[in-house]
Amino acid sequence: MLDVRLIGDSRFVALAMGTIAKGSRTVHVRYYFTDSRAAGGTGTAGLMITANPSAPEVARVRHGRSGRKHSRRS
C-alpha cells in the first residue's frame, strides 16, 4: 500500500453564463471564477486561471418553401 499524505488542497468555482440574441446564431459567454480557496502548501497562489473555450462548428440546415428542413446529404 502507498504511503500518501495530503500536503495541500486548492479549489475554485467556474461559472459560464451565455446569452444569445433573438434571431442570432452568435453565443456570447462570460466566465466567472469565484470562491478561490487554498489550504496547506499547494504552491497555487501564483497561478493564473484563464478560460480557453472552443466549440465545434454546427452543421447548417436549409429550409424549403414548405418550412421542412432539408439535410445536406446527397
The pLDDT score that the predictor gives to residue 33 is 86
- DSSP conformational letter for 48: P
Tens digit of pLDDT for each residue in 33-67?
888 887 887 777 677 777 777 777 766 766 666 65
> Is 62 domain-assigned?
no
pLDDT of residue 4: 76
- The whole-model pTM stands at 0.50
Judge whether 72 lies within some domain: no
In a domain, 61, yes or no: no
pLDDT band at 74 (very low <50, low <70, confident <90, very high): very low
Number of H helices, E strands in the chain: 0, 4
Render 2-19 in DSSP notation, one character per residue: ------EEEEEEEEEEEE
Number of Cα atoms under 13 Å in the Cβ half of residue 42: 13
Residue 74 forms part of a structural domain? no
Q: Residue 28: give the domain boundaries.
A: 8-52
Q: Do the domain assignments include residue 34?
A: yes
